A and B are shown apart, each in its own frame.
Chain A
Amino acid sequence: GENVEQHPSTLSVQEGDSAVIKCTYSDSASNYFPWYKQELGKGPQLIIDIRSNVGEKKDQRIAVTLNKTAKHFSLHITETQPEDSAVYFCAARGANNLFFGTGTRLTVIP
Chain B
Amino acid sequence: EADIYQTPRYLVIGTGKKITLECSQTMGHDKMYWYQQDPGMELHLIHYSYGVNSTEKGDLSSESTVSRIRTEHFPLTLESARPSHTSQYLCASSKQGARGYTFGSGTRLTVV
Is the CB of A41 closer than 8 A to any CB of chain B? yes
The reply to whether A89 and B48 contact each other, CB–CB distance below 8 Å, is no
Partner of B2, one of A9, A45, A93, A96: A45
Contacts of A105 in B (CB 8 A): 41
Q: How far is the CA of A9 from the CA of B41 in the complex (A)?
A: 9
Q: Give how many A-B residue pairs fall within 8 Å (CB-CB).
A: 49
| Per-residue interface assignment for chain B, residues 83 to 99, with 1 indicating a CB less than 8 Å from any chain A CB and 0 otherwise | 00000001010000001
Contacts of B106 in A (CB 8 A): 41-43
Partner of B42, one of A43, A51, A97, A102: A102
Q: In the complex, what's the smallest C-beta–C-beta distance from A17 to chain B, in angstroms? A: 22
Contacts of B50 in A (CB 8 A): 96
The reply to whether B105 and A43 contact each other, CB–CB distance below 8 Å, is yes
Chain A contact residue count (CB 8 A cutoff): 23
The reply to whether A34 and B100 contact each other, CB–CB distance below 8 Å, is yes
Q: In the complex, what's the smallest C-beta–C-beta distance from A51 to chain B, in angstroms? A: 8
Interface residues of A in 37-87 (CB under 8 A from B): 38, 41-46, 49, 51, 87
The reply to whether A87 and B41 contact each other, CB–CB distance below 8 Å, is yes
Contacts of B92 in A (CB 8 A): 43
Partner of A41, one of B6, B40, B99, B105: B105
Is the CB of B45 closer than 8 A to any CB of chain A? yes
Ordered nearest first, which 5 A-B pairs have the shortest CB separation?
A43-B103, A103-B41, A32-B99, A100-B43, A102-B42
Residue positions of B touching A, CB distance < 8 A: 2, 6, 33, 40-43, 45, 48, 50, 90, 92, 99-106
A-B contact pairs, 18 of them (CB 8 A): A34-B99, A34-B100, A38-B41, A41-B105, A43-B2, A43-B6, A43-B92, A43-B103, A44-B103, A45-B103, A46-B100, A46-B102, A49-B99, A98-B100, A98-B101, A100-B42, A100-B43, A103-B41
User: Other than the known A41-B105, A46-B102, A98-B100, what 10 A-B pairs have Cβ atoms closer than 8 Å?
Assistant: A9-B41, A38-B41, A42-B105, A43-B90, A43-B106, A51-B99, A87-B41, A96-B50, A102-B40, A103-B41
